[in-house]
Amino acid sequence: MRKYIPLVLFIFSWPVLCADIHGRVVRVLDGDTIEVMD
């Protein structure tokens, strides 16, 4: 069971990482003026 812990953490953190990266890309494209939507 223990070997699945990193996998579970990765799955749960993936949407957060994607949203963070997307938010940074949007900010860069818009000249850092737009707020990141949740």
Whether residue 1 is contained in a domain is answered as yes
What pLDDT does residue 36 have?
Answer: 55
The angle subtended at Cα 32 by Cα 28 and Cα 35, nearest 5°, is: 110
Whether residue 38 is contained in a domain is answered as no
Upper half-sphere CA count for residue 28 (Cβ side, 13 Å): 6
**Residues spanned by the domain of 20:** 1-33
Segment 16-27, tens digit of pLDDT: 888 888 777 777
Mean pLDDT (whole number) for 28-36: 61
What pLDDT does residue 32 have?
Answer: 58
What pLDDT does residue 17 have?
Answer: 83
Whether residue 27 is contained in a domain is answered as yes
Query: How many domains does the chain divide into?
Result: 1
Q: Which of residues 22 and 11 earns the better pLDDT score?
A: 11
Q: Are 36 and 26 in contact (CB under 8 A)?
A: yes
Alpha-carbon distance values, 18 to 3, 22, 25, 31, 35 (Å): 24, 6, 11, 20, 16
Whether residue 5 is contained in a domain is answered as yes
What is the pTM (predicted TM-score) of this model?
Answer: 0.40
Tokens of 6: 């990193």
